[in-house]
Structure formats: C-alpha cells, structure tokens
C-alpha cells in the first residue's frame, strides 16, 4: 500500500503563517510607498531578505519537521499500542477475510495459543462467520453475540472500521489511495453473570399436580380393609420421590396432590424420565389393578399463578392423552414422558350422560349445527357426523355435514344419503358453502379429531362462536382452544362408539334410521379392525345398541368389500415389508390405480401385526405430494409417541402422521432414526 505523506492540519497552518504575514507586509509596503518612498525602499529590502530566509527555512527544515512529527506520532502510537496490548479486555483486529492481524495479551490468554498472525478467527470461535460482521461502518453499527469458549461464556462485539476513514481522521498526515476495512473485536467475560443467572433460574419455583388416574378402579380391586394401607403406600411413594429432589408435596384430595419444586429439580426428573410413573405401579397388596399416575408440571411462567395455570393445562393434557404419563408445560413448549401403558376402560356412564345433556343444551340453544371431521375423512369420522346429525334433527335444528373430499371407503356410505328423499339436499355441503352460511347463532361440532389444522376446514373454527369437540384420539400440544364442550376419551375405540353412547342419553324421542345405524356400526367395525383392536365393554354395548336400532352386519360387510386391485395392492404391501431391528415392520403402499391408497396402507399396517414377533408396523403412502404414515401396534409399543416425534399423533396402538416436501426414502430413514434414538433412550 503506497501513500504520499504531507504535513496537514494545524501544523501546516503554523508553518505557512510566516509566508502569510510576509504577503501582508507586501500590501503594507505598497501603502508606505505612497506615504514615503525612502521608507518603502527600506521595507522592500527587508521583505526580500525576509522571504529569502523564510523560504530557505521551510525548504530545508520541512523534512526535519515531518521527521520529528512522525517520531512523536510513532512514540505516541507505541504508548497507545502498549496500553492496548496490556489491557485486560481481550481485543483483536481482523482483516476483511477474518484473519487476525493483531491481538493483545488478554486475547492471547483467552485463546491459550500463540500461532502468530494471519490465523483465522473461526479456528477459535466457529460461530463468528461472515454473516455476523456488521453491514455498515458508522458508530452505531455494531454486532453483539454470545459465544462459548473453553467452558467460559463471552459477549463478543464486532465493529467494522474503514481504513480510508481512519486515514482521513488523522490530524498529522494526509494519505491517498487507501481502501478496504478492518474489524475490531472485543470479548467481555460473561461467565460469572451467566452462572449467577443460571443459579437464580434453577432456584425458581415450579408447580406440579399429581393425580391418581384410576383411583376408584384400584380401590374396588382390593379388599376394603386394605384400602387405607394401599392409599398410604402410594402416598408414601409420591412423598419419598418428591423429597428426593427437595420437593414439597401436599395432598389436596383423596387422589390429587400438589407439588412445589425447584426448576433444577424438574430437570432432574426429566433425566430420570419421571420413573415415579413406573415405580408406583409396583405397589401391590393384593389389588388386581396397578395404580397409575398423571403428572402435570408448569414452569417458566411470569408469576406463580401462571405456573399453576401451566400445571393445570399440563395435567388436563396428560389425562386427555389417557393418563399414566407426565407433561411439562412452559410458555414455549410441551414435553411428554411415559404413556407406555394401555388406557383404562372406565365402565362408569356418568361422564357420558353429563356430556350428552350438555351437548343437547348447546344444540337446542342454537339455530344451526355444522358437523365436521378431519381432512380426507374416513368411515369413523363420517359415521360420527351422521350420528350428531341425527341428534340435531331430533332436536329440530338445521344441520349440515361439512365434507370436501369423498374417499373410496366413504363412498358407499355417502351414496346412502345422496338423492335420498328422506334427507335434506343440503345435508352434506363443502367448506366454502359452510363458511358462507354459518351465522352468529351456530354451533360447530368437531368429531374424530382435536387438532385444528387436521380438520376439514380450519377457517370454520375461527368463524364459529360455539364449538364442541368429540374425539377418541389423545390430545397433543395443538388442540381446539376455547371449546364450549370438549369430550375427549382416549380409551374409546372410535368416535362412533362415543356418539352411539351419547345418543342413548340425549332424548328418548330419538329414532335412528337403518342407514344411520349402519354408518355408526361401520365406524366402530373399521376402527377396531372387526372388533380385534382396542375394544372394551362399551364398544360391544354400543354395537348392541346400534344392532337393536337397525344396523345390519351383512349390509355393512357388503358395503366394504374391495375390488381385486386394492386387495392385490395390500397383499403386495404386506409381502414387501422390511423387518427392522427384528420387531418393526416397515413397508410402502403403492398408489397406482388406487383411489384411496391411504386406506389400503392402514389396512396393510393392521395385517402386518399378524406376523409373529412384530411389535409395531409402519406403512408409508406417497399420495398427492404428501407422505402418509400409518402406524399400528398391539400392546407392546406406544406408536403414538413415535408418531409425535415425527409431527403426528393418535392412539397408543393406532397412530399416524403426514410429511410434506420429502421422498419416501428420506421418510423411511427418518423413521428408522427416530426408532433408533427412542430405543437407545429407553423410551420404547
């Protein structure tokens, strides 16, 4: 880099002052000539000698003056450099490419190495990439970020400095042809502050709620004289477990406890995977049924009251997912632990009766009833919709079933109501018409789904003033908020079972037609795989109720007979399955020539469970740019938590997910990776 050095600024003005004064004397000399010629001649001679001496001094002494100035600046710069070199604040200068061209002693101590100049800053701090450099060079343009090095926390500040601007701001010399910029880097040790903040954060309080899921059932399974002992043993387990992490437990009701914990204790419980869930099942003094717990923890709220609300939401979510699990809720996320056991089928009908009466009151207070299932509806969602339609019509209310896509599996059921003079022409409408017709005094009943984005029309949820949710899938982090009535029972086999049970308590005047009974019976039959999966006492009671009201098993069986292409496709899917890690069947369902390949994929997943030794089956279907996964198990694996890891959900034995912008091969690798990590982590 070449430059021409010149004297400038105040020094230059000081040196030129004598010449300026000489020029002033010339003007004065002219005026003196007018007054006295002799005096003017004398002054002229003086001016000649004056200019000769001044010019000689300036010409000969200018290099010496510049030399002295440069020597002074050099000595001054050396002092500044030494001060910066010994400054306790780590400081370095980088070039445009991120190479270190100068660093002080404190910076060298931080990096614990002296590799000389021209070493890249990213060799020490990989986070300091090119995009972290400020865009401009003004005084206010400075980037600040947190970095970690050798287990120490630093705040790093980066500032871009123009070389030309530095030269232009010099008071001693003038430069030309300078270009480019340098980067000034400062490190501030933030470790002590971080440790203090982390300690304060770890000591912040978290609130937990512990509920006994099946208190009544467990107590009924043991002799009356032993019930108090069983309760005491369970309570001792809970108290001892929470005390081990320095928590405080307070019993609120016979089957409910409140726990106060530090945030660090919650982290410890997460590390232990909330093993209290499994530990409490070991309590046995003759009870036929093991006790199970649900735990809800709330933390990181703005106040203790908000932590408690988080805990309430977490425990509701745990119970809504079937119990026997822990849910930790923060403002940003929800984490799940446990949930490995089958849900308990509760024989009591009190809850169904209460929900039925509440549903009847809501419908009678509205003018319109809109019924909606999930996207690409199936037999269960349509059957449940038909059941709610019958309840609304019995209560003399205008009702519509919102349906955009009719799949092959649903087509025989829809055909029973299309052009049927016994039903309104607008019984089944699409989403656009529903959005146009829904009014302020309307209720939206959502069946067989509780995730807004999975519903047939998510916009309809936003427009509805009153919402009812009836579903048998476990709740996840995303659910329909502000529902007027929510009836989510994970132990139910199907939404049709729940609706059939509700219909028995709505009104005695209800009369179910044969077509409606067939639809409801079909939903139960399909979701239970011909009553082979997830059936309970209520499942058969609902089937018996529908049979008494005109459901015909032969008609239903004929309705769901399939053609040869679909049968062959399912058989090929089963025969081509890959057995992964001895216990998991993974296959891909073909879509060519099949109108509803996702249904065939689900059927193939069910059939793969008939292979001896298979714990779970996963069938992938590439349909309309989306990869659908149907996951099935019997009782050895909770496929819901596997699908939740991949963005889906469902039941313990029946679950699934939908993945966009991926290939089948990529999704298979992702599925295998998920299974590997969950097996190694002890989650499955």
**So what's the pLDDT on residue 80?**
65
The CATH number given to whatever domain includes residue 152 is 3.30.450.20
**So what's the pLDDT on residue 3?**
44
Q: What is the pLDDT of residues 337-367, one digit of tens each?
A: 876 655 555 555 677 888 888 899 899 999 8
Q: Looking at the structure, tell me whether residues 569 and 517 fall in a common domain.
A: no
Domain closes at, from 20, 55, 86: 86
Q: Looking at the structure, tell me whether residues 415 and 311 fall in a common domain.
A: no
Q: How many domains does the chain have?
A: 5
Three-state DSSP state, 551: coil
**So what's the pLDDT on residue 166?**
58
pLDDT above 90 (res 320):
no
**So what's the pLDDT on residue 341?**
56
**So what's the pLDDT on residue 2?**
43
**So what's the pLDDT on residue 180?**
67
Counts for the chain of helices (H) and strands (E), in that order: 23, 26
pLDDT above 50 (res 1):
no
pLDDT above 90 (res 597):
no
**So what's the pLDDT on residue 172?**
46
Q: What is the pLDDT of residues 3-37, one digit of tens each?
A: 445 666 666 677 677 778 878 888 888 888 887 88
Higher pLDDT, 676 or 64: 676
**So what's the pLDDT on residue 340?**
60
Provide the token pair at 184. 């000034």
Q: Looking at the structure, tell me whether residues 439 and 553 fall in a common domain.
A: yes
Three-state DSSP state, 48: helix
Residue 145: its H or E element: strand 143-149
Residue given tokens 């059932």 in the structure block:
217
Contact 446/467 with Cβ under 8 angstroms? yes
Q: What is the pLDDT of residues 216-232, one digit of tens each?
A: 888 888 888 888 898 89
Contact 417/429 with Cβ under 8 angstroms? no
Q: Is 274 a member of any domain? A: yes
Q: Looking at the structure, tell me whether residues 270 and 316 fall in a common domain.
A: yes
Most confident region among 112-126, 181-195, 612-626 by mean pLDDT: 612-626
**So what's the pLDDT on residue 9?**
63
Three-state DSSP state, 112: coil
Assessment of whether the complete model's pTM goes beyond 0.75: no
Which residues lie below 8 Å from residue 199, measured CB to CB, with a gap of 6+? none
pLDDT tier at 70, thresholds 50, 70, 90: low
Q: Looking at the structure, tell me whether residues 118 and 188 fall in a common domain.
A: yes
In sequence order, the β-bridge partners of residue 158 are 143, 185
Q: Looking at the structure, tell me whether residues 329 and 422 fall in a common domain.
A: no
Domain closes at, from 517, 536, 559: 559
Q: Looking at the structure, tell me whether residues 254 and 390 fall in a common domain.
A: no
Mean per-residue pLDDT, 160-179: 58
Surface-to-core class of residue 473, CB atoms within 10 Å of its CB (0-12 exposed, 13-18 middle, 19+ buried) = buried
Q: Is 1 a member of any domain? A: no
Q: Which long-range contacts (CB under 8 A, 24 or more apart) does 267-276 make?
A: 267/202, 269/245, 269/297, 269/326, 270/328, 270/335, 270/337, 273/337, 273/338, 273/682, 273/683, 274/326, 274/337, 274/338, 276/237, 276/238, 276/241
The CATH number given to whatever domain includes residue 676 is 3.10.310.30
Q: Looking at the structure, tell me whether residues 188 and 295 fall in a common domain.
A: no
Q: Looking at the structure, tell me whether residues 173 and 139 fall in a common domain.
A: yes
SS3 content of the chain, % helix, strand, coil (to 5): 45, 20, 35
Q: Looking at the structure, tell me whether residues 447 and 477 fall in a common domain.
A: yes
Residue 586 φ/ψ, nearest 5 degrees: -125, 130
**Which range marks the domain in which residue 408 is found?**
354-559
Measured N-to-C along each axis, helices 379-394 and 350-364 cross at an angle, to the nearest 10 degrees, of 60
Q: What is the pLDDT of residues 75-122, one digit of tens each?
A: 666 766 666 777 778 888 887 777 887 777 788 777 776 555 557 777
Q: What is the pLDDT of residues 449-474, one digit of tens each?
A: 888 888 888 889 888 889 999 988 77
Least confident of 162-166, 248-252, 631-635: 162-166
Domain closes at, from 307, 338, 369: 338
Q: Looking at the structure, tell me whether residues 249 and 318 fall in a common domain.
A: yes
pLDDT above 80 (res 508):
no
In this structure, is the dihedral angle defined by the CA atoms of residues 224, 225, 228 and 229, taken in order, positive or negative? Answer: negative
Sheet holding 152-162, edge to edge: 119-120, 99-103, 91-94, 181-189, 152-162, 143-149
Mean pLDDT of the chain: 82
Surface-to-core class of residue 534, CB atoms within 10 Å of its CB (0-12 exposed, 13-18 middle, 19+ buried) = buried
The CATH number given to whatever domain includes residue 385 is 3.90.1640.10
Q: Which of 195, 194, 127 is nearest to 156 (CA)?
A: 127
In sequence order, the β-bridge partners of residue 103 are 92
Q: How far is CA 380 from the centre of its chain?
A: 30
């Amino acid at each position: 880099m070449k430059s021409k050095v010149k004297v400038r600024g105040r020094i230059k003005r000081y040196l030129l002052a004598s010449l300026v004064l000489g020029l002033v004397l010339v003007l004065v000399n002219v005026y003196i000539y007018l007054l006295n010629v002799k005096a003017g001649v004398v002054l002229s001679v003086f001016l000649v000698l004056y200019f000769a001496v001044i010019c000689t001094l300036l010409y000969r002494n200018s290099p010496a003056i510049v030399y002295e100035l440069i020597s002074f600046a050099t000595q001054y710069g050396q002092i500044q450099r030494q001060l910066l070199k010994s400054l306790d604040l780590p400081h370095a200068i980088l070039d445009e490419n991120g190479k270190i061209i100068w660093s002080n002693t404190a910076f060298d101590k931080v990096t614990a190495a002296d590799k000389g100049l021209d070493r890249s800053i990213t060799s020490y701090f990989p986070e300091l990439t090119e995009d972290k450099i400020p865009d401009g060079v003004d005084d206010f343009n400075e980037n600040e970020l947190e970095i970690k090095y050798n287990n120490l926390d630093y705040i790093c500040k980066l500032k871009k400095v123009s070389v030309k601007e530095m030269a232009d701001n010099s008071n001693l010399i003038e430069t030309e042809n300078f270009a480019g910029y340098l980067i000034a880097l400062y490190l501030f040790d933030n470790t002590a502050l971080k440790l203090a903040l982390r300690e304060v954060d770890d000591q912040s309080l978290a609130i937990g709620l512990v509920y006994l899921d099946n208190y009544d059932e467990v107590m009924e399974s043991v002799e009356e004289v032993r019930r108090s002992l069983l309760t005491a043993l369970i309570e001792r387990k809970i108290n001892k477990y929470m005390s081990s992490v320095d928590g405080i437990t307070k019993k609120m009701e016979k089957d409910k406890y409140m726990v106060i914990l530090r945030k660090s204790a919650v982290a410890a419980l997460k590390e232990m995977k909330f093993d209290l869930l499994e530990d409490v099942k070991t309590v046995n003094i003759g009870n036929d049924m093991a006790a199970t717990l649900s735990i809800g923890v709330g933390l990181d709220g703005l106040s203790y009251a908000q932590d408690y609300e988080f805990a309430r939401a977490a425990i509701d979510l745990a119970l809504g997912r079937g119990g026997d699990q822990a849910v930790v809720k923060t403002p940003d996320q929800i984490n799940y632990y446990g949930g490995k056991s089958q849900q308990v089928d509760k024989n009591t009908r009190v809850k169904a009766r209460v929900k039925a009466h509440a549903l009847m009151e809501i419908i009678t207070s509205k003018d319109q009833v809109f019924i909606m299932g999930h996207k690409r509806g199936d037999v269960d969602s349509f059957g449940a919709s038909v059941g709610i339609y019958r309840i609304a019509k019995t209560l003399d209310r205008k009702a519509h079933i919102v349906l955009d896509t009719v799949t092959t599996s649903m087509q025989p059921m829809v055909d029973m109501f299309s052009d049927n003079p016994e039903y309104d022409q607008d019984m089944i409408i699409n989403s656009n018409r529903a959005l146009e017709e829904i009014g302020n005094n309307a209720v939206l009943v959502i069946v067989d789904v509780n995730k807004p984005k999975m519903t047939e029309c998510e916009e309809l949820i936003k427009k509805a003033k009153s919402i009812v949710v009836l579903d048998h899938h476990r709740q996840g982090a995303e659910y329909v908020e502000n529902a007027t009535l929510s009836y989510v029972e994970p132990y139910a086999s199907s939404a049709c079972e729940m609706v059939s049970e509700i219909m028995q308590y709505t009104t005695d005047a209800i009369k179910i037609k044969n077509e409606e009974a067939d639809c409801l019976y079909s939903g139960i039959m399909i979701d239970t795989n011909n009553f082979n999966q997830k059936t309970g006492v209520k499942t058969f009671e609902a089937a018996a109720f529908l049979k008494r009201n005109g459901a015909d098993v032969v008609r239903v069986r004929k309705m769901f007979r399939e053609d040869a292409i679909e049968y062959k496709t399912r058989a090929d899917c089963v025969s081509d399955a890959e057995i992964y890690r001895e216990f998991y069947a993974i296959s891909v369902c073909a879509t060519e020539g099949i109108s509803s390949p996702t249904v065939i994929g689900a059927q193939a997943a069910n059939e793969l469970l008939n292979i001896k030794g298979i714990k779970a089956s996963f069938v992938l279907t590439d349909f309309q740019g989306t990869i659908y996964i149907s996951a099935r198990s019997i009782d050895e694996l909770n496929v819901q938590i596997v699908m939740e890891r991949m963005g889906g959900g469902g039941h313990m034995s029946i679950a699934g997910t939908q993945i966009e912008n991926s290939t089948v091969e990529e999704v298979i690798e992702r599925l295998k990776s998920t299974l590997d990590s969950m097996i190694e982590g002890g989650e499955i």
